[in-house]
Chain A
Amino acid sequence: MLDITCPWCGKRHETEFRYGGEAHIARPENPSGLSDADWADFLFMRKNTKGPFAERWCHVNGCRRWFNVIRNTASHEILATYRMGETPPKLPGGAT
């Protein structure tokens, strides 16, 4: 089980959280101008990175707020957590 540090509440067990997948996928600015391929890319295509990966979690059984985590998907190590809207911290090796 992961120990995740909520940026508001501090360190809690993974079972208090819900996973939200890849972070920083911005909704296209101009939806009606998008091709089918662009839509497919936005809706379905994912980085699925092996290594440091920026992802969203929600503290559902706590403050119920969303935030971002950088976690190594090969080792489960959590490298950083930061609030929504904040820029991801720079990590050695140029993560995400």
Chain B
Amino acid sequence: MVKYSIFSIARNALQGHRNWPEQWRSPEPKTDYDVVIIGGGGHGLATAYYLAKEHGITNVAVLEKGWLGGGNTARNTTIVRSNYLWDESAAIYEKSLQLWEGLSQDINYNVMLSQRGVLNLAHNLGDVREGVRRVNANRLNGVDAEWLDAEGVKDFCPIINISKSARHPVLGATLQRRGGVARHDSVAWGYARAADARGVDIIQNCEVTGINRNGGKVTGVETSRGTIGAKKVAIVAAGHSSVVAGMAGLRLPVESHPLQALVSEPIKPVIDCVVMSGAVHVYVSQSDKGELVMGAGVDSFNAYSQRGSFHVIEHQLGACLELFPIFSRVRMMRTWGGIVDVCPDASPILSKTPVEGLYINCGWGTGGFKATPGSGWSFAHTVAKDEPHPLNAPFSLSRFETGALIDEHGAAAVAH
């Protein structure tokens, strides 16, 4: 692996940038691995990287049915924050944010983390109480959080409409200054390159079609490129989690829904923070290219189609224009959808399963991009040691039997 630095850029510039090596190999699959990871999204790739880095397990393959970044990893609106309500969530999302803060250096890849501050708006008295409570809970957990009143919101984000006569007036907001955005496909590529450099095989265009077991223990997978043996198999398939888990006879409490996003034509800088409103389904930030990046709500129905309904976009934009009248003549350039795996308590599953040697990481729903590093880091521990890590122990599959659910609907909303 060529280390990226000012010197390697200068050297390659002198050669007309014609001699950069590939960022990762594309090897033929071997017949056997210690660990096979199903799904080459951010979470799968991060798991592979931390298995190699933290646990010295390098005989690992990541099998991706399409291409890296074809799933939700590179379809999301890239909001990163850690201001979740409950202790369990705050712990794993905050670990994640701390890993984000050193990630570009750690994997020698610029993930363009921009900690520009995230506002979560309150539009009624219930929202205000919920927001203030969350700020207090966050501080008790060492997560930075502030409460702003309407004037404070206007100071932080001058283009926002705080008129009292608005359909959904802004009464205040929580602010996490360390929150922000990151470049989504850099996360997939950066983890892939760093994992590859430690010996992990990244295998694209390789769809898993079956999970082989013998006496309740996993033995490998069937794929579109043949049978691959494995001592351990980790399912990290996001929207397709139920389908893949079904290959091993497992039922999940997960439902797959389309979630849409859209971007505008590029405009001059107008908004230098992230604004989110769970109540009216708006979230917006501006990319380095100048596009407004916006997310809509989920479609109500289950689907696997990577596209959603137009009325959902219409609803989102209606609410958005109330908040930001200045956007009224901006043209939208593209919309798209991803398939998100939603859990009934809006919290993820990182867990062992009833099948020995089979592990699952799913249910991140509408908000798992921010969790990519912490998820991979703690899940690698679970796969390596065959036991929960303290950070992911509360997120076991068995919580649906014990009833110890982690209700994060307030912090997750449909939002991120």
Contacts and interface: CB of A to CB of B under 8 A. Distances in A.
Interface stretch (B50-58, B90-98, B209-217, B296-304): B296-304
Nearest to B306: A74
Nearest to B345: A44
Contacts of A75: 305
A1 B310 contact: yes
B342 to A, nearest CB: 10
A40 interface: yes
Interface string A29-66: 00000001101110111111110010100000000000
A19 interface: yes
Contacts of B300: 18-19
A70 to B, nearest CB: 12
Contact of A48 (B252, B309, B400): B252
Contacts, number: 68
Contact of A45 (B251, B302, B311): B251
Contacts of A18: 300
A24 B249 CA distance: 20
B32 to A, nearest CB: 29
Given A1-B311, A15-B311, A40-B400, A48 B254 contact: yes
B255 A74 contact: no
Given A46-B251, A53-B302, A40 B401 contact: yes
A44 B309 contact: no
B304 A50 contact: yes
B303 A73 contact: yes
A73 B309 contact: no
Contacts of B255: 21, 46, 48
A43 B251 CA distance: 12
Between B251, B301, B311, B401, the greatest number of chain A beta carbons within 10 A of the residue's beta carbon is seen for: B301
Contacts of A74: 303-305
B242 interface: yes
B402 interface: yes
Interface string B297-323: 000111111000111000000000000
A44 B302 contact: no
Nearest to A75: B305
Given A55-B301, A76-B305, A50 B243 contact: yes
Interface string B340-351: 000010000000
B309 A2 contact: yes
Contact of B344 (A2, A44, A49, A53): A44
Interface residues of A, number: 27
Contact of A2 (B253, B254, B301, B403): B301
A73 B353 CA distance: 26
B400 A44 contact: yes
Contacts of A40: 253, 400-401
B240 interface: yes
Contacts of A14: 309, 311
B256 interface: yes
A41 B301 CA distance: 21
A75 B400 CA distance: 31
Interface in B234-278: 240, 242-243, 251-256
Contact of B242 (A1, A19, A37, A47): A47
B25 to A, nearest CB: 31
A49 B304 CA distance: 9
Interface string B344-363: 10000000000000000000
A50 B303 CA distance: 7
Contacts of A41: 251
Contacts of A15: 311
Contact of A71 (B243, B251, B301, B311): B301
Contacts of B252: 45-46, 48
Interface string B376-416: 00000000000000000000000011110000000000000
B302 A76 contact: no
Contacts of B301: 2, 19, 55, 71, 73
Contacts of A37: 401
Interface in A56-93: 71, 73-76
Contacts of B251: 41, 45-47
A67 B256 CA distance: 21
Nearest to A53: B302
16 contacts: A14-B309, A15-B311, A21-B302, A37-B401, A44-B344, A45-B400, A48-B242, A48-B243, A48-B302, A49-B302, A71-B301, A73-B301, A73-B303, A74-B303, A76-B303, A76-B305
Given A49-B302, A71-B301, 6 more contacts: A39-B401, A40-B400, A45-B253, A48-B243, A73-B303, A74-B304
